[in-house]
Amino acid sequence: MLQLAYLVIREGSKWSDVFRLVPGQSITIGRAQTNQIVIKDERCSRTHVEVFMSTGQWTLRDLDSRNGTLVGDQLVKGDWVLRPGDVIRIGRSQLVFVHRLAEAFSDSSTIIHREEIVWEKRKPSRGDDSADVLAAYEPATITHRRGQTKFLKPGEEEADGISKTGRAAAKLCRMAFELAKAANVAAMADLALGGLLDGTMTDAAALLLLPRNFKGTPTGDDLEVIASLSASKRRYHRVSSMLASTVMREGEAVLARNVMGDSTLGSRDSAGEIYTTSVVCAPVRHGRNVFGLVHLYSSDENRVPDPDDLEFTLAVADTVAVALVNLNRRQELAENLTKVRTENIQLRERLGVRSELIGKSEAIKQVTEEIGRAAAANSTVLIRGESGVGKELVARAVHYNSTRRENVFVCLNCAALAETLLASELFGHERGAFTGATERKLGKFEAADKGTLMLDEIGEMSQSIQAKFLRVLEGHPFERVGGSKPVSADVRVIAATNRDLEKDIAEGRFRRDLYFRLRVLEIVVPPLRQRPEDIDELADYFLEKFNAETGRRIRGFTPAAKELLFNYRWPGNVRELKNVIERAVVLCRGLEIDQEDLLLTKISTVGEGDEQEPTEGGRFMPSSLSDIERRHIRATLHHTGWNKSRAAGILGIERSTLDRKIRRYNLADEAPRH
């Protein structure tokens, strides 16, 4: 009968792995992933050496490696017959060939997977050679394994009429009720760990979980510590990747004795001395899904966990898994509900978008035509106009008449957030990127993928955000705040502003290159005072709207109220008209809205100065639309320094139309002479 043989692998100063040699199977060792034993060492060749059985003896053969192979201090040439205690040296790594490894285990069948072996280190005396050092390492054993727990099944009664299993089950029942009420994973973890430390002979515990939506084959390194507790003065130390990988792969709970702190936990006490531990690990599983594990250990020789503690830990882990599944389902339901509500709002907006473009003036008809032309393209749009004119409504109309209408429309006000929060809102952030970032958050760009993103008040964006925003507009991927992974999104951007961007560029507050990138298509929404013929229609629309909302039955406006609405300058534009009508509907005491019901302000309109209407004793003096138009065009030309293209853009008319009006009103003589 052939004797068992093993290669014990050492990398640097730690023993890291054990590989069992199987007669009839040849193994290769090297840097490439195709080898049975992979050594991550730059001095190791891709396929360095081969170990095989020949005439009943295990033999080592160097495969023409670049840096050679040593056994002890001798360079291997040809085939080398291995002897127990031989130390194979490849670069900085060492592999020791032994026969006696299985003698240290009570059940050799537990050494099926090499990750199940953990090591206990005794301090060797000075002068120990490699073989003596190997002898100083004795494996800690996994003494018990459990796939199912008896604490979740009926047990036999004891003398007092209550079985130990029954008492444990009662404790589990109380814990299950508490876990079901936990608001989040952290609270659930604290409840479970407190119950485990109270019910087992351990003094430290932790819950480790895989990231949500994790894909692939999990290892111990993929686990995140959600919460940890320690009943001793020593802080909690993480479970070894080797032991965690074993529990995750097998889906069974294990109890290991004589596990040294430096090999599995990396822990020492305050004096720097190594202390022994007993470890319990149980998978957090639901069906075939393993979400993570519960890790317990004892560093006190008088507190040694037994098989019942293993059973109880496994039962708690299974209960945590059920609570975790329910918590995830509640979160998914909340997310889906929010998504459905958002979609419903968007559908209502989509159905009503055409009817909300109210007006019969030439100016509003021109805006509608420009919306149609912009919707047919996929270019960036810059919407300009005073506050309250309906820039967001125009942006929605562009989106819902475009090919992206089936996808989302996302709106963000750049003036409402600080610079750091604006970056997070636009590009998202990773968990832990800043204080309060407890979860990964998708930014507006990712949320608007395949749809449209409207950025209102774009002129308020800081210079640093403008630079990053410009790169995204140019098609470059971006990174979330605190992240390093590039993210791409297919988004159409519509920007809106009430600022004079040309002036901001001249004063260095807005990037020139970003301005030209945004202004591929431009829609200028005229203020309400420039389209007074729309006031009646808008007032009637808002009256009907608020009648329906409040249940009032107001029939309309008195002639005096209509005249007041028509002659008012509306510095707040359509938004102000809407609010004035809403207030009048609520406060009106009769069946018609009269002058006394209209609460108007004395705030001057934006840009008022040369274009102010004539007054007499502070009261408005009526004048023709032609006179008003002449004064307004004249004031706009003086404002732009007679830059006709810019003036036409502000006025919302074509350059040729402006030239005709200049000739009509005899304004050419006022142009500056150069």
3-state secondary structure of 533: helix
- Give the whole-angstrom CA distance, residue 282 versus residue 149: 11
User: What band does 382 get if pLDDT is binned at 50, 70 and 90?
Assistant: very high
What digits encode the pLDDT tens for the residues 249-288? 888 888 877 665 444 433 444 444 445 578 889 999 888 8
CA–CA separation, 649 vs 195, rounded Å? Answer: 71
Per-residue pLDDT, 48: 92
- Strand, helix or coil at 177? helix
DSSP string, 268-309: --TTS---EEEEEEEEEEETTEEEEEEEEEE--TT----HHH
Beta partners for residue 61, in sequence order: 50, 79
Residue appearing with tokens 């966990």: 305
What Cα–Cα distance (Å) separates residue 19 from each residue in 16, 91, 110, 281? 10, 19, 13, 23
Q: What is the mean pLDDT of the chain?
A: 79
Rounded to two decimals, the pTM is: 0.43
> What are the tens digits of pLDDT across the range 595-628?
889 988 877 665 544 444 454 444 456 677 888 8
- Cβ burial of 143 (10 Å; 0-12, 13-18, 19+) is middle
- Crossing angle between the packed helical segments 307-356 and 185-199, to the nearest 10 degrees: 170
The burial class, CB within 10 Å (0-12 / 13-18 / 19+), for 100 is middle
Contact yes or no for 197/189 (Cβ under 8 A):
no
CB burial class (10 A; 0-12, 13-18, 19+) of residue 105?
Answer: middle
**Which range is least confidently modeled, 298-307, 316-325, 604-613?**
604-613
> Other C-beta atoms within 10 Å of 217: how many?
8
**Which residue type, as a one-letter code, is found at position 455?**
L
pLDDT in tens, 450-506: 999 999 999 888 888 888 888 888 877 877 777 777 888 888 999 999 988 998 898
Q: Can you tell me the mean pLDDT for 397-423?
A: 85
Helices 164-180 and 307-356, interaxial angle, to 10°? 20
Residues 11/92, Cβ–Cβ less than 8 Å: yes
What's the farthest any 2 CA atoms get from each other in the chain?
A: 121
pLDDT at position 527: 92
